[in-house]
Structure 1
Amino acid sequence: MKNKREGFGVLHYIIMAAVSFAVFILCVCVGSVTIPAGDTLTAIINTIFGLPIPEGISGPIILFVRLPRVLNVALVGASLSLCGGAMQGLLRNPLADGSTLGVSSGASLGAVLAIALGLTIPGFTGGGIMLMAILFAFGSLMLMLSLAHKLDYSLSTNTIILIGTVFSMFAHSLISLIIAFSGEKVKTITFWTMGSLANTGYINVIVLLAALILFGALILRYCRELNAFAVGEDNARHVGVNVKKVKLVVLVAVSVLIGVCVSIGGTIGFVGLIVPHMTRMVAGPNHKRLLPACMFSGAVFLMLADLISRTILSPIELPIGVVTSFVGSVVFVYIFYKSKKVN
């Protein structure tokens, strides 16, 4: 297994890209109305090159309903998985991800508050929710780091995780309080907190892609430092890593990326927790290989989860967060059981 991991390279990324594309086409084709793959590819290619779509092809369904949704799902899955892999490496804890550190909870609190108050940005659908989610995710991170710094000047991993867990409980209690007083918006908030990427459009694709390019690239820039963290913070200092700076930069990038994802898709659990575990079994612990691989596997995982959510009880659509939580919890128990059995 070790040799296979060390040999993980360009060919494996090509295979993962091919699998991601195949799953992408499958998710665009399948739904309440099944569309042949050839028609789907024809509609997409003709639109890209400005050619007319042949009659008989369900162009509007492909281009304005399924394509933007599946693109958003893939980008959210890639972003959450990348964030989870980076946080697990940074904090050397397999339970670290946006939900356990309170960043997702902070983003959710901001988004729920925006929905309850009806905050909007003129000309930008969902802009108020997105802005509040990013601000609260970043503010939550700053609050947790400040408290951790007061309690433990070295910003140890255990201190950060403990404060993040406590803050998550606090944020969820505030969300419950807001729901209790939100009146007719209870249904919207409740469905949103379970996670859903229905009715997302191309503007969301642009925002997610821009966030992933900017902050994802920032996270990937610190792959070497994350490898040093894997051996321990003291070792990282000895090899010249500025531990506090790397922690701050990576956590800030993660918080903004998670804030954007939460503002668009709601609370989608277990992606950043489970996918890096599964990917690490194939790609190995080297973050230069692991983090890019996490993006492919995260996109595939969430696209399949979204496909299940909208087809398993068709015409009823399940929130995607319900599917990821169910699958993720089962996979997590299995991984935990296998790891204990090996040990």
Structure 2
Amino acid sequence: MTLTVKLAQRLRLMECVMKRLAFVWGFLLTFLVFSFCLYYGSVDLSLNDVWHGLQAVWHQAPITSTPAQIIYHIRLPRVLAASQVGISLALAGATMQALLRNPLADGSTLGISSAASLGAVLTIIIGFQSKNLPWRGTVIGAILFALLGFILIFTLAYRRDRRINNLTVILLGLILSMLTSSIMSLFMAFSQEKLERIVFWTMGSLSGSSYHDVALLCFANLVFGGIAMSKRRELDAFALGEEQAYHLGIDTERTRWLLFLSASGLIGCAVAVSGNIAFVGLIVPHACRIIIGPRNQRLLPVVIFAGANFLMLVDLLARTLISPRELPIGVITSIIGALLLGYLFLQRGSSHAKS
């Protein structure tokens, strides 16, 4: 066995060990953040209260004490929903950015989030509820309109250019975003009695999250997120360009449709539960790329942990910063996102000036 082969085997073994260590550390960090978010809140609870509350949930015992009720009915479903929404938005953002080779691609810039928000606002205005389904009307409306937005963008892009140019997709997404935002503003102007609920929801909130919402998000992450995770090699090939990906034997058109469908499904389900939380799909992938680089084989698993931790902590800030009142989550993420984009702009400007 030559020295080169031995070296390659050793490097492969080290990479495998590093992947497993990164997974263990990511899981431990997520567990610590999850536990802290359960423990800390506007109502002071002891660690013993949290433990007994979780035991009651696990053993399905009757919940009688107030701390256990707070854990079971309020904090646990909310923290679980925050983690799953963070995973959905971060994974969708990373997928779209890799696919379009554009660091600013996200559900917000492609109009999917706005379309989902429009669907939810419509259900709020007409008061749609279905007793035969476990989810709120906003959930059904948001998911349907997110998928309709995806179909509309790609149908128009396909009619204009059979190869579906990336720039065309981004421009159509911006047009859809502006159109749906205008329609929402029009509806809000004629729905004064429901204006406060609509405005607060469109800025993002996880208050009132239920276990049905958590189940929906887990299902979406398993199905749509599983598709994105299984196509990491293809996403790395797309980073080289569509022609290079095609020459590597990848069905670029089918892969693009499939990945955009999965990203739209992730965004639709997230917006359906939490409202329109902006910039998560931009902030988390950018931060992860700075730390571990742009290769999607490594990036996407890290994005999952980072997205969950980021939104759990942001939700904790939202419900404790001005307690007992609550801030919309979208306000906090928008501030962080604006600061990050400003920093990236200044960094790029300074690097161009030096060159």
1:226 alignment partner in structure 2: 235
SS in 2 for 1:174: helix
The CA deviation string for residues 196-247 of structure 1, in whole angstroms up to 9 with x for no partner, is 0001111111111111111110111111100000111110000011111011
1:60 alignment partner in structure 2: 69
State, as a whole percentage, how many aligned pairs show the same letter.
Answer: 43
**Rg bigger for which structure?**
2
SS in 2 for 1:264: helix
Unaligned runs of 5+ in 2: 1-13
1:76/1:261 contact within 8 Å kept? yes
Structural RMSD (CA): 2.0
Q: Which amino acid aligns with 2:29?
A: V
2:144 alignment partner in structure 1: 135
2:39 alignment partner in structure 1: 29
**How does the TM-score come out when normalised to structure 1?**
0.93
1:90-169 alignment to 2 at 5 Å?
Answer: 90-124=99-133, 126-169=135-178
1:290 alignment partner in structure 2: 299
Worse-superposed segment, 30-39 or 161-170: 30-39
1:226-305 alignment to 2 at 5 Å?
Answer: 226-305=235-314
SS in 2 for 1:35: coil
Out of 51, 68, 82, which is 1:41 matched to?
51
Work out the CA distance in 2 between the residues paired with 1:268 and 1:17: 24
Q: Which amino acid aligns with 1:310?
A: R
Shift of 1:8: 5.2
1:329 alignment partner in structure 2: 338
Work out the CA distance in 2 between the residues paired with 1:57 and 1:115: 32
2:196 alignment partner in structure 1: 187
1:179/1:186 contact within 8 Å kept? yes
Work out the CA distance in 1 between the residues paired with 2:124 and 2:87: 26
Out of 303, 317, 323, which is 1:308 matched to?
317
1:317 alignment partner in structure 2: 326
SS in 2 for 1:9: helix
Work out the CA distance in 1 between the residues paired with 2:349 and 2:58: 50
SS in 1 for 2:239: helix
Cα 1:12–1:152 shift into 2, 3 Å: same
Work out the CA distance in 1 between the residues paired with 2:331 and 2:15: 33
1:202 alignment partner in structure 2: 211
Work out the CA distance in 2 between the residues paired with 1:269 and 1:168: 13
Shift of 1:249: 0.5
Q: Which amino acid aligns with 2:239?
A: A
